[in-house]
Structure 1
Amino acid sequence: MASSRDRQRKLARAKFDRQLARRAEKERRRRRLSAGVGIALAVLLIAAGGAWIGGAFDGEESTETTAGDICLWTPQNTTSNPDLKDVGTPPTKDLPETGTETMTVTTNQGAPIVTSLDVGSAPCAAASMTYLAGKKFFDNTDCHEITTEGALRCGDPSGTGNGGPTYSFYDENVPTAPEPSPSASAAADKTVHYPKGTVALIGNPPGTNGSQFLIFLKDFAPAQPQYSIIGQVTGGQDTLDKIAKITTGENATGDKVTPKEKITIQSLTVGGTASAAPSAGAQS
């Protein structure tokens, strides 16, 4: 379970990033305004803009976290990334920090995939998945990749790999790679950090998690782990084994990761009971 000190550092960093984002937006507005005015007015605006950027007029929150905050969500701009989908943000307080929660992913490929979310190790990830599921963010979206690492990649409504909600949050439960031993063989150093059935978040770039997640279809032993583990598959392994056999073709960048058969999330829920398996006609 993440320590309270680590979480406070992440909260402070998230708030600081929010400040930087607001200041960057103010600077863009200032530049657009300055471009259309006379020299004299531009001089005044530049002087005022310097004070503005310096924070003289900022009414921003401090980097000190508010008592009771468990998670903070860093805003993402739809202007710079039109693939984002605005469904608001989860709460920051009164979130579960212990135990597990059931996540059920019903696809067109067979029986529902049931996952145990590790709330204790990744409370913000669990809170985000719960919130987005409540907004039906994942429903009727395609899993757009079977990665070269052997994982099913889902959670991007745009199907581009760039999509997600209009907020991000930091890693919580990334495995730590062991220090290499001079006497150990290369094979001995291949620690499986992501066993088959592991559910993890994938950020773009790493560390800026949103809605995209991986379900590992086989063991993965990276030299440097970078994905936050949020849970483990507890049911529906036959469905995942079926998905693992789907062949892939090249995407726009030439990577052979695009499934040649549609893998559609019909619904994703957190809590409650697992959905019934879709009918045979829905699996085509």
Structure 2
Amino acid sequence: MSTPDASASEDCMYTSADGTSPTPAATEPAAGKQEMTIVTNLGTITATIDTAGAPCTAGSFTHLAKDGYFDGQQCHRLVIDGIWVLQCGDPDARAAIEAGTPEMAGAGSPGYSYGEENLPVEAAGNYPAGTIAMANAGPGTTGSQFFIVYKDTQLPADYTILGQVTAGLDIVEQVAAAGAMQVAPAGM
């Protein structure tokens, strides 16, 4: 993540999951845009982050990236029907997959959560191809998990739009073309 423009600021409320887990700063830069680079085993994805529109989310990403939080993580969810997204950002996904319990991938968090911001309108294609948005399990549960939209997708307007891929969307499309790993239902 590039250095944010601190010419404006926003108060953010990050809620520690256990009351002791560290959280980002309570006041975050809220101006301009940042550049984000995602280095994958298939190549590099770059994106422009809307720091002005999603200052708390950008602040969280900056905080986590500086700590190396995303280093070595594995994307854990690919949706190839109805919506077109690749979901990443679960710190426990790789361990779950390597342990043979891929159904557990997607439950991890950075130890804190925060509310949604920069939501789109309810409309067809409200998450266009290249959008980077935040996954959540309901209002106020946003953490570190994000998804990259690789085809225009319509979703409920419940997911913070963090930014837009500027290069490397073809890498996500390549992953989608390879398909998703099949997970057997529990007990099989």
TM beyond 0.5: yes
Structure whose CA Rg is larger: 1
Instruction: Structure 1 unaligned segments of length 5 or more: list them.
Output: 1-67, 79-85, 179-190, 255-284
What's the C-alpha RMSD, in Å, of the aligned pairs? 2.1
Local SS of the residue matching 1:250: coil
Unaligned runs of 5+ in 2: 1-8, 94-104
Counterparts of 1:108-119 in structure 2 under 5 Å? 108-110=41-43, 112-119=44-51
What letter is aligned with 1:145?
R
Q: CA deviation at 1:252?
A: 5.2
* 1:233 counterpart = 2:169: no
CA distance in 2, matches of 1:240, 1:204: 23
Task: Measure, in 2, the Cα distance between the counterparts of 1:215 and 1:161.
Answer: 15
The TM-score, its normalising length taken from structure 1, stands at: 0.54
Q: Matched residues in 1 for 2:59 and 2:142: separation? A: 13
1:217 aligns with 2:158: no
Decide which structure has greater helix share.
Answer: 1
Identical counterparts, % of pairs: 38
Q: Distance in 1 between matches of 2:119 and 2:62?
A: 20
What code does the residue aligned with 1:105 have? I
Residue 152 in structure 1 maps to residue 97 in structure 2: no
Letter in 1 for 2:74: D
Shift of 1:135: 0.6
Asked if residue 77 in structure 1 is aligned to residue 18 in structure 2, the reply is yes
Runs of 4+ in 1 over 6 A off after TM superposition: none
From 235, 241, 247, the equivalent of 2:179 is: 247
Does the residue aligned with 1:152 lie in a helix, a strand or coil? strand
Given that residues 87 and 135 in structure 1 are in contact (C-alpha distance below 8 angstroms), is that contact kept between their aligned partners in structure 2?
no
> Structure 2 matches for 1:36-55, cutoff 5 A?
none
Question: 1:132: which partner in 2?
Answer: 64
Residue 69 of structure 1 deviates from its aligned partner by: 6.3
Aligned counterparts of 2:63 and 2:117: Cα–Cα separation in 1: 17
Give the number of aligned pairs. Answer: 165
Aligned partner of 1:161: which letter?
Answer: G
Q: Structure 1's 173 and 253: CA in aligned 2 closer, same or farther, altered over 3 A?
A: farther
